[in-house]
Chain A
Amino acid sequence: MLCAALPLLWLPLAGAAATEEPTPEPGSPGEPPPGLALFRWQWHEVEAPYLVALWILVASLAKIVFHLSRKVTSLVPESCLLILLGLVLGGIVLAVAKKAEYQLEPGTFFLFLLPPIVLDSGYFMPSRLFFDNLGAILTYAVVGTLWNAFTTGAALWGLQQAGLVAPRVQASLLDFLLFGSLISAVDPVAVLAVFEEVHVNDTLFIIVFGESLLNDAVTVVLYKVCNSFVEMGSANVQATDYLKGVASLFVVSLGGAAVGLVFAFLLALTTRFTKRVRIIEPLLVFLLAYAAYLTAEMASLSAILAVTMCGLGCKKYVEANISHKSRTAVKYTMKTLASCAETVIFMLLGISAVDSSKWAWDSGLVLGTLFFILFFRALGVVLQTWVLNQFRLVPLDKIDQVVMSYGGLRGAVAFALVILLDKTKVPAKDYFVATTIVVVFFTVIVQGLTIKPLVKWLKVKRSEHHKPTLNQELHEHTFDHILAAVEDVVGHHGYHYWRDRWEQFDKKYLSQLLMRRSAYRIRDQIWDVYYRLNIRDAISFVDQGGHILSSTGLTLPSMPSRNSMAETSVTNLLRESGSGACLDLQVIDTVRSGRDREDAVMHHLLCGGLYKPRRRYKASCSRHFISEDAQERQDKEVFQQNMKRRLESFKSTKHNICFTKSKPRPRKTSRKKDGLANTEATNGKPPRNLSVQDTAAVILTVESEEEEESDSSETEKEDDEGIIFVARATSEVLQEVKVSGSLEVCPSPRIIPPSPTCAEKELPWKSGQGDLAVYVSSETTKIVPVDMQTGWNQSISSLESLASPPCTQAPTVTRLPPCPLAAEEPQHPFNLPYDPRPSFAFPPSLAKAGRSRSESSADIPQQQELQPLMGYEDRTHLSPGTANSHWCIQFNKGSRL
């Protein structure tokens, strides 16, 4: 929605750039025939947005083409390719139109292209890392940028005095300083584009990237001060003006940050109250962040800083407040916009460079500038690092310094600023433009191309997934406290003291004010990490063990009934709800009319089939979807250890599972046991008859989770839980249908073959449910949804709790294939007289357990199929309104204790 909206916003400016000349696009204006026309071109009415859309389309297509070949993209950064493409396109446009078109306009750039990129980086900035290195980042951003600007400017002036620059270049010292100020700033867009592909270690990345974001304030101030000095003429500059210049540095930076924080506060506060209008949540995030940008720009404060702070500040609260879907929407829209803007920027940069009327070449100036920016950057980095290392526990070593110096890429900001210069005041503008273009191209293309081999060659510490996450989380917290305590005791108030204070303040006041109560409760970080780990465990378990185990699943007698069950619900759904359309909007809405539920179920059942090819596509180009560092850090080692441990512990306790579990929810489980666990009772608790008992245990786990989840939906998270829960609700509606329908369909040959691909087939579907592009790939690049929150988490961690039993079970089952069969049959007599319907529902659930044993992917389809059973039991045996507040705890308790 936003993706579509934003290009429209561009149209005034980009359109203004485009309207002057007839375009070479295929839809060039035709002559409207006089009189009544059957067919009429109205090109001019749509021209501006059309062109914007076309350009974005071209850029996106180019991206697709680049990524067709893995080899090319692994060697050449995308930004280089885009610039080159821009050059080619610019050349074509120039050749066709005889005039340069579609330049990178500073207005477009600053108002429309830059904000999404900065917002994206601010919002997804690892805040802890950022604040840990804030000192270094600020030093490089402020001192480094000032140093670069002045030394470069002065050195160029010296070069001119030495006669190495052609006398045509009429520039005073102030002009050179102005030029130095705009050319010295490291560019966030370029840095992001290049470093994203290099994967240096986190600290290095955050330092370079943080610098590039924060130096905006310095650049803006320097640029403005120098610009006004140039316009005043150096003779008229008073001493007070210098003071004002220094003061404005603080005003601009602190003011920008303040604006950002104010908007972050507003944003957090607003999202607290969007419970009933979930759909506009993503919109709010973008609107308020954009408002922050524009406000700061309006007050000529640092807009980049404002958006960065806004994103950084609001994230914690916004993420806690908005629903999972909104979170996904925010994430994807943000990434899409940023990637879109980045692509367009680089392409337009290339196109702009073709316009030779704008620039004038002077070799001395160009080469001098290139040399000086590299030299002074390196010198500045070395000097500052030397100072900083006096204070750092982990010093930045030489290799880090090399990468930092070399990673000082210049980009579109410099270009836009140089275009903004006033030719009448700065006579050498054309030379500066040419130099800037060369510098930008050199840094992006040459340095961008070589930095990867350089990093490899220097053996820079890469960012690897190396952390046992929960441990880290735990110990970081503990260390913070310990350090704060020690600082308190010795009366030395350092960074940790303030962090501690801040966290207390946040906990006591801010979180209370800005977060919903329910979100606040659940948002304990340690618990959060635990959830996430569970998801990843589960998914990697499916990845690793799914195939092997599923072969055993084939032998399970209950498989057919499962499939017939799936068929049942699909066919019934198709029969029942005439309209096949299920808009996602409806799912977002909490309107739980019967039809909506049916729609949702069907929608998702269908999705299960539909997403299959997509997953493969996604997995093939990894750069393109969103994978945060955090997602990658689940390394196999931890997982394996973890699993091993859990399996061991499970072995000893598995037979108690169903019984211990009943304690938290005695009402529910005992009821269930009436119908379900009769066999269990007869089988006895001791570890005999492994397969059946475990099956029952597994089923129970799933059920109770589902119930609790759905019950919890009555609390605030109603819409949060997403489709799984909708599906569950449907089961109630569908019962009658299902009973009859399933009777008909059950004996019919299964249509879905119970093949090992079941897990694969349904996994993408499952992930697609919460997060469209995050898929489980079977390869090392494991993309796991990290920010799918509780609803998703629960389903997965239920999956995970399911996943551990199967593992131990697998061998047993393979050895005794007939056992489940034999064991299953006695259950029918128990259930059938009881009520025909549970008996009907039971086999599928068994099948499901069987399958989960085989594939250990208790993915949502399974749960959905299970739902009927559950829903039925729910209605017959259970009183509505289960304990909702503790649902997340309970199910874990149940499955783990």
Chain B
Amino acid sequence: MFGVPELDEGVQKGLFYRYQDLAPQLVPLDYTSCPDVKVPYELIGSMPELKDNPFRQRIAQVFSDDGDGHMTLDNFLDMFSVMSEMAPRDLKAYYAFKIYDFNDDGYICAWDLEQTVTKLTRGELSAEEVSLVCEKVLGEADGDHDGRLSLEDFQNMILRAPDFLSTFHIRI
């Protein structure tokens, strides 16, 4: 749908070493033959830094090829470049949308939003509160009133707030 921007050589190298670090026993240092290697999600998800992150699994799923969270080097590089500042806003919105869309049906429905809100609030809100919030969120952004957010709705909403995605990037 969108072209993921290419990364610098140096950055790629750095990322590769990081990738290799994740699973030194699985990933060969020599990548010239493009081996079909995947780092299993269990390794990524068990990183101590990620322990508290509510979205770790979802992110790995979205960026992995078949949605199982196991990442190839390409997935890994894509993930980074989408989050980098070079990626266009639409691309970021697209991936953000995918991350929200927990059940992969192409729409953010109430259930997806509930997942998000529950994760975000770390279970501090009751089910009723969560559904109230979700209802409101849907109401705010749902342009065609079908009770769910399409990618278009989502992008519209983001466009309406010009600096909405301004922080949605990381520096290399």
Contact = CB atoms under 8 A, between A and B. Distances in A.
A471 B50 CA distance: 25
Contacts of A478: 55, 96, 99-100, 116, 120
Interface in A646-676: 646, 648-649
A496 interface: yes
Contacts of A461: 162
A645 B145 contact: yes
Interface in A120-174: 132
Given A478-B116, A491-B18, A526-B121, A485 B126 contact: no
A476 B44 CA distance: 24
A496 B85 CA distance: 14
Interface stretch (A598-606, A622-630, A636-644): A636-644
Interface string B142-172: 1001000000000001101111111111111
B99 A470 contact: no
A700 to B, nearest CB: 17
B133 A470 contact: yes
Nearest to A534: B136
Contact of A474 (B50, B55, B137): B137
Nearest to B121: A524
Contacts of A892: 128-129, 132
Contact of A645 (B50, B139, B165, B168): B139
A95 interface: no
A893 B128 contact: yes
Contacts of B120: 474, 477-478, 481, 526
Contacts of A893: 128, 132
A483 B95 CA distance: 12
A367 interface: no
Contacts of A514: none
Nearest to B126: A889
B22 to A, nearest CB: 8
Interface in B113-141: 113, 116-117, 119-121, 124-126, 128-129, 132-133, 135-141
A393 B172 CA distance: 12
Nearest to A896: B132
A242 interface: no
A490 B80 contact: yes
Contacts of B136: 470, 530, 533, 642
B53 A500 contact: yes
Contacts of A477: 120
A496 B170 contact: yes
A394 B172 CA distance: 16
A504 interface: yes
Interface residues of B, number: 59
Given A530-B132, A892-B129, A494 B171 contact: yes
A484 interface: yes
B82 to A, nearest CB: 8
Nearest to A392: B85
Nearest to B86: A393
A491 B19 CA distance: 9
A592 to B, nearest CB: 30
A260 B119 CA distance: 34
B110 to A, nearest CB: 11
Nearest to A461: B162
B170 A132 contact: no
B133 to A, nearest CB: 5
B141 A471 contact: yes
B161 A645 contact: no
Given A478-B96, A649-B135, A203 B163 contact: yes
Given A489-B79, A490-B18, A494-B170, A472 B161 contact: yes
A475 B119 CA distance: 12
Interface string B34-60: 000000000010010110111110011
A882 B151 CA distance: 45
B76 interface: yes
Contacts of B91: none
A490 B166 contact: no
Interface in A479-511: 479-492, 494-497, 500, 504
Most B CB within 10 A of own CB, among A394, A471, A480: A471
A500 B167 CA distance: 14
A743 B139 CA distance: 47
A391 interface: yes
B156 to A, nearest CB: 10
Given A470-B136, A478-B96, 10 more contacts: A201-B163, A472-B161, A472-B164, A485-B53, A494-B171, A495-B170, A526-B121, A526-B133, A530-B132, A892-B128
25 contacts: A391-B85, A392-B85, A393-B165, A393-B167, A468-B157, A468-B161, A470-B133, A471-B137, A474-B113, A474-B120, A474-B137, A478-B96, A478-B120, A479-B167, A482-B55, A486-B79, A486-B80, A488-B53, A489-B44, A524-B125, A645-B145, A646-B135, A648-B145, A896-B132, A897-B128
Interface of B: 15, 18, 21, 44, 47, 49-50, 52-56, 59-60, 76, 79-80, 83, 85, 96, 99-100, 113, 116-117, 119-121, 124-126, 128-129, 132-133, 135-142, 145, 157-158, 160-172
Which 5 pairs, one residue from A and one from B, show the smallest C-beta to C-beta distance?
A468-B140, A488-B49, A645-B139, A893-B128, A394-B166
